[in-house]
Amino acid sequence: MKEQLEQIRKQTLDALGSAAAMPELEELRVKVLGKKGELTALLKQMGSLSPEERPAMGQLANAVRSAIEEKIAEKSEQLKALAQQAKLQAEAVDVTIPGKTQKLGHEHPMNIVLDRIKEIFLDMGFEIIEGDEIELADYNFTKLNTPEDHPAREWTDTFYLTEDSNVLLRTQTSPMQIRAIEAHGVPIRMISPGRVFRKDEVDATHSPMFHQIEGLVVDKGVTMADLKGTLNTVIRAIYGANTVTRFRPHHFPFTEPSCEVDIQCHKCGGVGCPTCKGEGWIEVLGAGMVHPKVLQNCGVDPEEYSGFAFGMGLERFALGSYKISDMRLIFENDVRFLEQF
**Residues found near ligand DAH in the complex (CB under 6 A):** 172, 174, 214, 252, 255, 286-288, 309-311
The distance of closest approach from Cβ of residue 285 to ligand DAH in the complex, given in angstroms and rounded to an integer, is 7
Q: Which is nearer to ligand DAH, 255 or 306 (CB)?
A: 255
Between CA 11 and CA 7 the distance in angstroms is 6
Is 19 or 305 the residue whose CB approaches ligand DAH more closely?
A: 305
CB of 268 to ligand DAH, least distance (A): 26
SS3 state of residue 212: strand
331 touches 339 (CB < 8 A): no
Partnered with residue 216 across adjacent β-strands are 190, 309
Least distance from ligand DAH to the Cβ atom of residue 315, Å: 13
- Between 193 and 286, name the residue whose CB sits nearer to ligand DAH: 286
Output the smallest distance, CB 106 to ligand DAH, in A: 30
Which CB atom, from 287 or from 327, has the smaller least distance to ligand DAH? Answer: 287
- The residue among 194 and 311 lying less far from ligand DAH, judged by its C-beta, is 311
**Number of C-beta neighbours around residue 257 at 10 A:** 15
Nearest CA to 290 out of 274, 305, 275 is that of 305
Provide the greatest CA pair distance for the chain: 133
Cβ-closest position to ligand DAH: 311
Q: How far apart are CA 272 and CA 86, in angstroms?
A: 77
Query: Measured from the CB of residue 310, what is the shortest distance to ligand DAH in angstroms?
Result: 5
Question: Is 288:247 a contact under the CB 8 Å cutoff?
Answer: no
Helix (H, G, I), strand (E, B) or coil at 306: strand
**Residue 211 — φ and ψ, nearest 5°?**
-115, 140
Residue 38 or residue 283: which is nearer to ligand DAH going by CB? 283
